[in-house]
Amino acid sequence: MANVGEATSTEEMELISHYFHLGYEYEVILEFLKQYHDVSLSIRSLKRKLREYGLRRNANDVDEPRLRNIIRSELRCSGGSPLVTGLCGIPFD
């Protein structure tokens, strides 16, 4: 059983997930865990736990072939060079 002020593994997972989803950086999460929950981890351990929980930053699940086709299609439609527009849709030269 955990000592008073120490988190169990389930509580630790909930705390880490909570702070992660709030968007805090790793160092801030570690500081909150230590200061408010008496949980001391290294940044390496925090990152390992996040992987175990299935949490990751910038999780871009991009279908690269589809993205490539969209870009090619846009380039063909614009005559081969991308069209960059300003705020009112006015093209930049």
Sequence-distant (6+) residues with CB within 8 A of 1 are: none
How far apart (Å, rounded) are the C-alpha atoms in residues 30 and 38? 10
Nearest to 26 by CA among 10, 48, 11, 8: 48
Q: Convert the pLDDT of each residue in 46-78 to its tens digit.
A: 999 999 999 988 756 677 888 788 777 777 776
Range with lowest mean pLDDT among 8-12, 25-29, 42-46, 65-69: 65-69
Which ranges constitute the DSSP H helices of 1-93? Answer: 9-21, 26-37, 43-52, 64-77
Report the mean per-residue pLDDT for the chain. 79
